[in-house]
Amino acid sequence: MSMEIPPQVQNQIAQLQQLQIQLQATIRQKMQIEAMLRDTESALEELEKVGEEHVIYKSVGDLLIKSKRDEIKEELTEKKETYDLRLKTLERQEERLQKRFQQLQEQIRQALSGSIPTGGA
């Protein structure tokens, strides 16, 4: 005994699956940015511990290049700001997707239970 799912509900289910994929991708990106942000913050903290007299190297591909402390500090600070901004954007995106996912899930639930007419969404 199989239940015939109306085309509108099938469309909503497809949208829900797409939202789930987008949400998972957003969460993965957010986790990657959080890791890069932690690494950058850690590097900045370590940089603060060493004095001006210490030789500092930065990694460029497979090479370590001798660099000036202030230049590296500026680069790391810019990276941190970029990661912070990207993280906030991803958090807002995740929140919107989560909200839309829950709304669509509820619409599907109601449509399948027959508690609302299948017109408009």
What does the pLDDT look like over 49-88, one tens digit per residue?
Answer: 988 888 999 999 999 999 999 999 999 999 999 999 999 9
pLDDT at 120: 52
Query: What predicted TM-score, i.e. pTM, was given to this entire model?
Result: 0.79
In angstroms, rounded to a whole number, what is the distance separating the alpha carbons of residues 25 and 27? 5
pLDDT at 40: 97
pLDDT at 4: 83
Which residue would you say has higher pLDDT here, 72 or 1? Answer: 72
Residue 115, helix vs strand vs coil: coil
Q: Is a pLDDT exceeding 80 seen at residue 114?
A: no
Sign of CA dihedral 30, 32, 38, 41: negative
Q: Which of 80, 103, 97 is nearest to 24 (CA)?
A: 97
pLDDT at 1: 45
pLDDT, one tens digit per residue, over 17-46 is 999 999 999 999 999 999 999 999 999 999
DSSP 50: S
**HSE-up of residue 67 (Cα within 13 Å, Cβ side):** 16
Class of domain 7-113: mainly alpha
Q: What is the mean pLDDT of residues 1-17?
A: 85
DSSP 68: -
Q: Within a 10 A sphere around the Cβ of 63, how many other Cβ atoms?
A: 8
For residue 63, give both structure tokens.
């090479």
In contact, 18 and 121? CB cutoff 8 Å: no
